[in-house]
Each structure stands twice: as structure tokens, then as C-alpha cells.
Structure 1
């Protein structure tokens, strides 16, 4: 790991943004904070990070696990064009008790500190060991960040309301007012599969039977969890290809799905050691043809539905609806407690969820440029642009998005 023994002076602007009064206490003499900035440093954290996952406070998600983060770093943090790893670690009596996975990126002339693996990681949070003062560690980590040179703004997207970072620093960070909701289904309310079946209305049951009937015209319908390896690799490629076709027809841009290395990242996860997370790739077939897929991860009793996709030419048959039903039944049978459909909230997710977890975007300016960008763009312009974008008709989006791709490329 890379430990900073001497820190540069705090900038005047950062000091104004985060007052010392906001820090509840100082670190005990037995504790220290370090910064990890290399792949070697990430690998050195493996044992301690895995231990912290099982001993962490709150609702740690799959996106804060060592397996997820280290695999992503191998793909995206190599070479001069890769993201700069900035993982803040906290030790007490030489035991890792706090971890804040971040990375430094360059965006529109600004140096932005954001969640490690963004935008692939759908939620961001810190890990803090049970029995530790999370607010103290977050406060001291923020003071540590203020002393790092060359950072304009700390930007944290998709912070769940039930996260440790929201509870510890929600009043210190600036809310960007980009409210979002993450729908999920509480599986603990169903004692049996019959109880799950009873959640459907008569109309919903008829629709599901109709979908199956139309698919059976193509051949026998089967739902399979694929073994990780050659078969899952093909499913990952097919699922992403069909998802991109679906997005293109609707004039939408998805930064994650458009990434050329995304499939390699998922394949690497599938072929990893799978110590703390469980990758699940399922496929729905009608006869000899695959008609839909789900690429998911399980951690801490929650099933995270990371990518759902279907054959684009079969959109009108809605194979994804049947796939969701069969996937949730499989989760119930496997003892999962929650089925997380994640951000963003979409109307089609309503029938597959029982509640939503609010998420917020936060930022903290660390320079004068960061202050201007935060107030003008993050808090004002971006929320308005996002609202307008999602109201635009598909015909206009199909015209705008190629221009946007060229501008960003």
C-alpha cells in the first residue's frame, strides 16, 4: 500500500467548504489514514479488504467488494490513460477498519475525485468496521482529501439514503439535487413460491401466460443458469449486443453499455475466484434460440440485477418480463433476501419491486474551479438538462446522440 507520511497544506477554498467544526473528533493515537494509488497497493489490500466486507457496518453492496473493485482496476487502471486509483484506508492498531474506494479522473478541465469503478458501480459507499465511529473516520478522511494537491471537486453519485457515507457526511457534502430511486423487491415477505405467485394480479398472470404462449411458438421455453466460463462469456457478449441495439433504436446513450472493455470486465469477473461475491448469468431460450439474458451479482443476501437484456427483434413479445419472474423465483428458492433492480427508476420496474431506496448525488468543492463547477453545473445545469433529456422524443434523441458521441469522442 502507498502511505502518505507528509501532507501538503489545505487550500483556502477547501477549508471554507469543510469546517473543522464538522469533524466530530480526531483520530486516536493508535490510528492512521493512508492512500493507495497503485494496482500493487490494491492487491496488497486483498486479505484485509475481504475481512472488512464481512465486518462492515450498514448495507455494503457488491460494488464496494474487493472482487468487484480489483477486477475493474485490472481492466481500467492500466496505462497512462487509465483512471488514477485513490483508495483511502484507515487503520487502528494495524487493522484495516475503514476504506473509501475513490479514483481521480479528468473531466472538462477539472480534476474530479469520484467513486472507484464509476459509472459501472451502481452505488457508492465507504466500508467501516463494526464498533468503529464511522462519522469520525469519514470526517477525518474528508480532512485528508482536503490536503491532497490538484483536486478540484469530490463528486459522489448514487449515494443511497441508507449508506454509511450519507449518515456520516450528508450534512457536510453538498446535495446536487439529482434525486433518484433504486427499486427493489423484499423477498423475505414470501415464505413460499405460492406466496410469491399471490403477489400478481389476475391481469399480470394473464400477461405472463400470454408471453410464454407466444414464445412457445418458437420452441420449448427454458430458463437456465449458465456455468461461468465459455457459455457465460457468449451470453455476456450477446446480451450487451442486443442491449445496445435496443438503446440505439430509442436514441439513448448508455456510457456503461457503450464501453468497448465492459464485456472483458464481466468475463474477468466470471473467471475470478468468486470468494465474496457470486456472479449469476441466466438465459431464457425458446427452442434453439436465446431470447433474453440477465447478468447479476449476489452479495450479502441481495441479488443485484446488473444487466437485463433481450433479443431486440422480439421486444414486442416482452421476453424480459417472463425472465424477471423466473429470476425472482430462483432467488427466492436460493434464499436471497432482496432483489435489487437498481438505479435508474423506470416504470417497467414497478411490477417487479415492492419499494424504492432513494439515492442522491453529492459533491464537495476543493478549489475555486470546483466551487464554480459545483454551483453552476452540478447543482443547477445538470439536473435541468437531465430532466429535459428524458422528456425528448425518440426521433430527436436519435438525431442528437450521434452528435453527442462525436463531441465526446
Structure 2
């Protein structure tokens, strides 16, 4: 009837509950049967969680406004929201709330076409959707290699990509029938990879990577453009770019879903977790980002 996948972890001196798969997962929610009694079940599940012994706080990252648990969390824990964001998406359905998907302006289309022509100078440009499981696994492995190269080149640290289970999980996921992988190659060499899950017509983007050799020609943007233009053929009705709402995502989207992060203390000691999440960690990330920029500057 209800499944809420959580995991018990240590965060410094604190013991917290987090969504299973965090930080790789993008959304936090429970799986609940659709029926009239679902909210009382979620209430009961939340009461069970908050009564667990030895848990200092519950951390839920990426709770969508339409999540099954959203009403209960908003009513009980709205003042423990640590971040509000949006997940942009393209809704290709005729009755889309945000109206028809925005088509690119003539200027943007000209830029994209120029990028495609510039890429063609390096070799034949080919867009492909990878259908066989072995090919998808190989594409995911390649996407992760390119992502790690980008992280190293830009002196960035990603908790999700640094996690030892991340590659195993994504490569295993690539064998699922609902897994989707698209690639743009230039002269037979990979320029960009896009990978995610298509289920019930909804595509959730998981990994995007590109080769730095082709970066100035925007291969990632060209791949998104191809997907948007051929969404119906691919079987995509809603293309979810996931949070956060970066400009390169909003460029294609015609709507967005509000998303919230929660840090909920279950006892007084757990308020230290909230302080860390809301104040200490953002400042630490800012300092790391400044150091990264200093290292990159000549």
C-alpha cells in the first residue's frame, strides 16, 4: 500500500534519515497506491518515522509539489524548508498547462544551425538513439567518463558522481527497457551524450555529458534540440530537465514544477543539522567555488 524508501546515515555527529539513493537521486517521495485513503497512510508513515529512536533529523531533497508526501510535509514541516527550486520541463501534450512548447527564435535557430555546420567541419554529424542494452551501458560508461573529465577540468566536486555506487547503479539502470540514451557523434567520435528514463511518456533526464573538444559548438544544446524536435517519434510527452532551474534548461521548457528541500529536526540535538544545511554548508560551498575560480584564473 505504501513504500517510503529511506536510509539511515551519519552526518558528522548526527544520525539522519535520507531518501534512498541520495545524493544521486533527484526527487524524494513515497510510493503510494492511488485511492481515497492515501493521505491517512502517509500521515501514519510520517508518525512512524518521527517516533524512531536515535534519529536526529530527516533530510528530504527534491520534494516535488505534486509528490504524494508533499501535502503532509507542507502542513507539518513547512518552516523547515531549506531550499525552494523549480524543475523545468517541456510538456508536448495538447492540453499542456504552460501552453505549447516554445519554439526557438530565428536567432537561436540560426545559432544552432551554425553550431551544427561548424561541427560538420570536424566530420559527419550523426544523431542516434541507442536501442540495445549493451550499447546503452557503453554509452553510460562513456557519459560518466566525460562527466568526470569535466569535473576534473573545472576543479569541481560532485557528491553524487563521487559516490562509489553511482557508476554501478547507472550502468545497471542502463539495461532497463525504459532506459533512454541518445548521442551525437562527429566523425564517429562522441561529442555529447544524454541519458535518462522514459516511463508512461515522461522522460527524466539523469546524465548529460559532452566532450570538451567540441564544447564551443554546443553539442549538448544540439542534442536537446534534436530531442525536442523529435519528441513524438521518441515517445516523449513530457521531458523533465529536473532541478535546479538553470538557464540552459529554461531555454527549452514551457513549464516548471516547484521543488523543495527539507531538513526536519526530530529532537533538539537535531537542530544542529538544520543549521549546517541552511547556513554552514552553503557558505562552505561558496568558499570552495571561490577557490576553484582562483585556481582557474591565470
TM-score normalised to structure 1 length: 0.66
Counterpart mapping for 1:102-121 below 5 A: 102-121=6-25
Q: Which secondary structure does the structure 2 equivalent of 1:172 belong to? A: helix
Question: Which residue of 252, 255, 263 maps to 2:167?
Answer: 263
Corresponding pairs, count: 293
> Which structure exhibits the higher relative contact order, with contacts defined as CA atoms closer than 8 Å and separated by 6 or more residues?
2
Question: Which residue of 93, 102, 110 maps to 1:188?
Answer: 93
Which residue is 1:345 aligned to?
245
Following superposition, the deviation at residue 293 of structure 1 comes to 0.5
Question: Which residue of 280, 294, 297 maps to 1:396?
Answer: 294
**Closer, same or farther: CA 150–251 of 1 in aligned 2, 3 Å:** same
Q: Could you tell me whether the CA contact under 8 Å between 1:176 and 1:379 is conserved in 2?
A: no
Q: Could you tell me whether the CA contact under 8 Å between 2:205 and 2:240 is conserved in 1?
A: yes
Which residue is 2:82 aligned to?
177
Q: Could you tell me whether the CA contact under 8 Å between 1:223 and 1:283 is conserved in 2?
A: yes
**Closer, same or farther: CA 127–270 of 1 in aligned 2, 3 Å:** same
What CA distance in whole angstroms lies between the structure 2 residues aligned with 1:144 and 1:248?
Answer: 43
Counterpart mapping for 1:258-407 below 5 A: 258-272=162-176, 274=177, 278-374=178-274, 376-385=275-284, 388=286, 392=290, 394-396=292-294
Which residue is 1:128 aligned to?
32
Q: Could you tell me whether the CA contact under 8 Å between 2:7 and 2:19 is conserved in 1?
A: yes
TM-score normalised to structure 2 length: 0.89
Q: Could you tell me whether the CA contact under 8 Å between 1:249 and 1:398 is conserved in 2?
A: no
Following superposition, the deviation at residue 127 of structure 1 comes to 2.1
Q: Which has the larger radius of gyration?
A: 1
Is 1:155 the counterpart of 2:59? The answer is: yes
Unaligned runs of 5+ in 1: 1-96, 400-409
Q: Could you tell me whether the CA contact under 8 Å between 2:141 and 2:171 is conserved in 1?
A: no
Following superposition, the deviation at residue 322 of structure 1 comes to 0.6
Q: Which secondary structure does the structure 1 equivalent of 2:251 belong to? A: helix
**Closer, same or farther: CA 325–246 of 1 in aligned 2, 3 Å:** same
Following superposition, the deviation at residue 260 of structure 1 comes to 3.9
Q: Which secondary structure does the structure 2 equivalent of 1:164 belong to? A: coil
Following superposition, the deviation at residue 167 of structure 1 comes to 1.4
What CA distance in whole angstroms lies between the structure 1 residues aligned with 2:134 and 2:112?
Answer: 31
**Closer, same or farther: CA 347–392 of 1 in aligned 2, 3 Å:** farther
Per-residue CA deviation, residues 278-317 of structure 1 (Å, 9 max, x unaligned), is 1011111112211111111012321111111111221111
Which residue is 2:124 aligned to?
220
Q: Which secondary structure does the structure 1 equivalent of 2:93 belong to? A: helix
What CA distance in whole angstroms lies between the structure 2 residues aligned with 1:269 and 1:319?
Answer: 24
Q: Could you tell me whether the CA contact under 8 Å between 1:177 and 1:383 is conserved in 2?
A: no
Unaligned runs of 5+ in 2: none
CA RMSD of aligned residues (A): 2.4
